[in-house]
Amino acid sequence: MKPVIVVHGGAGRIFREREEGCRAGVVRAALRGYALLKQGGTAVDAVEEAVRSMEDDPHFNAGCGSVLNEKGEVEMDAIIMDGKNLDSGAVSAVKCIANPIKLARLVMEKTKHMLLTDHGAHLFAQAMGIPEIPGEKLITERSRERWKKNLEPDSNPEEFQKDLGTVGAVAIDSEGNVACATSTGGLSNKMIGRVGDTACIGSGGYADNHSGATSTTGHGESIMKVVLARLILYHMEQGMSPEVAADTALDYMKTRVGGLGGVIVVNKAGEWAARFSTKQMSWATVKDDNLHYGIYAGEKHIKSVDEALASEREGF
């Protein structure tokens, strides 16, 4: 099986001055994940590495760069899933760690549970030796500014939810195993303890070797209502291609609950899709040693991996 990786940096509205950083961030993440796959790494390894790369990138609403809750703190959610045996691990409302996706994988591999939250996740992170970092280190100037604006009496937080960059990855490895990973800081000025779709299996992501893998982004409450990730795989089980399955599910979410979002998909044959009903979504794919990437509907740049790695070294 030829390995494939697809990543997204969140669906919504991406301001022009941030486009280049978002494009470079998803390209970097896809190349890192693909490098692992080419060395014989597993799909789970690849999606974790790709998402970790984007958590460390302040352009995205995950890890460093996460948006702030109503109290001005970062609370993050993440999930990872292995399509081989349907094992999954997730964390929600976690604070003071750099890479929630790493903690989610430890939940999957080191506990009998699938989701740990808040204080319990914090205790588990300590037990696993994950370094604690000051919450301030995860906060960017942009997130703080947005939080302050949303506190103003005449503000409209909904307006600021339109460019939130949840991050995700899906992959198939040389053994034919699929995996997904998704990580987010959630909604700006959300209530303390609010958990969105990301940490919920079947909503923020799903992976099953029998059909494929998907990671979602967009309005979390809408995604949860239609269980978007699992819905896409259901459509593929009925014989739809990844692209048609993604479009059908996104269309249903829009018409049924008025929700917008985006998804990345890979099926068990290695066919892939990156689709969205929002204005934009940063995404990148590597297949057959070719990199594909874009932000706008219909936009697709293609480079060889060698060419992409060379320009990456030169600063994109």
pLDDT in the model for residue 160: 47
pLDDT in the model for residue 90: 98
The structure tokens listed for 192 are 């303390």
pLDDT over 90 (residue 197): yes
Mean pLDDT across 209-217: 98
Closest CA to 123 of 158, 148, 96, 141: 96
Consult the annotation and say whether 220 binds a ligand.
yes
- Mean pLDDT estimate for the chain: 93
Q: For residue 183, what pLDDT band results from cuts at 50, 70 and 90?
A: very high
pLDDT over 90 (residue 8): yes
Consult the annotation and say whether 197 binds a ligand.
yes
Q: How much is the CA Rg of the chain, to the nearest whole Å?
A: 18
Active site residue 278: no
pLDDT in the model for residue 154: 64
Consult the annotation and say whether 196 binds a ligand.
yes
The predicted model scores a pTM of 0.95
Q: Which of 111, 117, 166, 182 is catalytic?
A: 166
Burial call 261-288: b when 16+ CB within 10 Å, e when fewer: bbbbbbbbebbbbbbbbbebbbbbbbbe
Consult the annotation and say whether 218 binds a ligand.
yes
Residue 72 C-beta-side C-alpha neighbours within 13 Å: 7
Q: For residue 151, what pLDDT band results from cuts at 50, 70 and 90?
A: confident
